[in-house]
Structure 1
Amino acid sequence: MSGYDSLGVGEEHLRRVDELKRGQDAFERRTDYALSDLRSKLSDIKETVERLEDGERSVARRFDTVETDLQEAKETAEARSDELEQSISATDARLERLATRVGALERHLRQTEGAVVVDLDVDRGGKLRSLGLAVENGLAAEEALLSAHQRNVLQLQITHYQQARQALTQHRATVREAAVVLASTAAGDPRRKKAEQAFTKAATEAQKGQENIGMLAKSAQDARAKQAADNARRAKAAAVIEAGERAHTQLRVRLRSRLSDALTGTDLLPLWFTTALGPMAPPRRAEDWLETALDVLSYRVTYQVTDPVLALGSAPDASRAPHRAARFKELKRDLRNWG
């Protein structure tokens, strides 16, 4: 029996060894497969990295090329800009010399017997002056009105008061609702704590709102009064402002036609014109120059300025004619760009 048992133990031992060997073989096969798969993936990753590096180098080379092209384009543009600036400066210098020669020629022509000077101030029947005064009346009426910003400020004051009233009403309603809950619930009721918090917060806000509402109400009342007064002025001034706008268009068209004829004609421009604006329009700001010239013409016909040398005549008395004085100051500043 003991030999048989020993033999059984040996067979069992061999069987387990065999199972372990088979398990080890299977493990080694799985390990080999995993390692092979890992090597394959590492190889793929390596190839991908190499392609990315090649692409990065390619992009870097293209970027360097683009950067070089941009730098060359920038240098070319700067060179051409410098050339253009030089050309413009040279042109301006030539025009300056031309204007000086034209001015000298004009002085010579004025001394010539029979020289004809354009009368830019002529106003047969006073039609131009009437248009100019209508423009001034329209502008004065418009200046007496509140600006859009001022009206927005007034409306904001009214809105603040309305919002404060709504907030105060809401806070009071919350206080009443919380008071009802507090009066109808016993201590320990879960609704009571929430009602107490709502009551305290709403009561505090209502107190603050009540303290501020009076001041806001006064501001809103004043704002409404100013709005109403401005609306009344607007209704009353609407016809004057509209007439002024129409007169401005008509006056501008007539003066522009007159000035165009004078500039393209052969007669001499008035001395006051060439002194203030030069003998011709500058090439780069011709439209600005023309608008200033029309402003000066409009000022002269409106206020009947006939000074042969001074474009705006003598300075008006600001205390007696504030709007004209303001216009005089503005035009005098504009003329500094041209004389």
Structure 2
Amino acid sequence: MKALRLKNWGREPELTEVDRPVPGAGEVLVRVEAAGLCHSDIHVLDAAPGTLPYRLPFTLGHEIAGHVAALGPGAHGGPAPGERVVVHGPWGCGTCTRCAAGQDNYCDRRGSLDWHGAGLGRDGGMAEYVLVPTARHLVPIGDLPADQAAPLSDAGLTSYHAVSGVRNALGAGTTAVVIGVGGLGHLAVQILRATTPSRVLAVDIRPEALALADRSGAHLSIPMDSDTAAALRKATGGVGVDAVLDFAGAQPTLELATQVLRPGGELAIVGSGGGQLTVRKPGFLPPGVRLSLPFWGTRQELVEVIALARAGAVHVETEQLPLRSAPEAMDRLRRGLIRGRAVLVMSG
């Protein structure tokens, strides 16, 4: 089968022929229908040797949708052959209490593993087939299109998990701000609209991203410039916002968040843009602010995201490309030229 493999650090991945995997005890073979591209893939490609614990080579791709092709011995109790599924991508040790509860994203042994999940040290879904170590990593998707389901397994799940962490602060009459309206941010806007009564404001430096925010249901979209903080405060009658979800995580966006949060607000830093936030008391943060660093999401949250999408409450804006176009798509992603989420669609 064809697979996009990372063979050497600092080199571009190669589309190559490899043997189709055969499921062993408890494993499930999934025929891939679609695999999303993510900035995490770029971080892996650009990592210096020794930065990540992953062993080369491995197949990229952690946003995966397809159908069950075969079950290994003892792989019972999960989706049946032919059933369409999405893969819960963060694979932990499988034995700690967090993993047992479907919270592999916060596996207690994460620091000692030489993988972080599908396509992240273990063979992923940028291939015709992917071997999933256990059926508990699979969530049925019914008739949801694969190009929608695949990006929901990270872009949608991470956004949903971030919103879940601040939802307690977003009752009637509140305001939430989404900074960075890309592949994750445009889904966060929709999830906020679908699961909270909060007013949703969106911020981005790119006009096309602000247009995407509008299409996603933002009540107000504001360009990122020197007047953004004042515009956000004006939009809240001067009191500030109840929650900020920062999908950029850069220095300017973190500084903006500290300027517009009201006392007792919520700050979720989702993006890995290299910004730094000094936390001290007293300090720059308003009193009572709660800070979270959400990572991916739980299996149950993935079930809930898929349900939202099947109900029509969440829709991913995608650019669909064949597997052979993966290198070109990654280059465009690196240069910020992808609208929404890029998805590799397998033929056959």
Fold equivalence (TM over 0.5): no
Larger RCO, structures 1/2 (Cα 8 Å, 6+ apart):
1
Larger Rg: 1
Q: TM-score range by the shorter chain?
A: under 0.3
User: Which of the pair is proportionally richer in helix?
Assistant: 1
Please report the TM-score for the alignment, with normalisation by the length of structure 1. 0.24
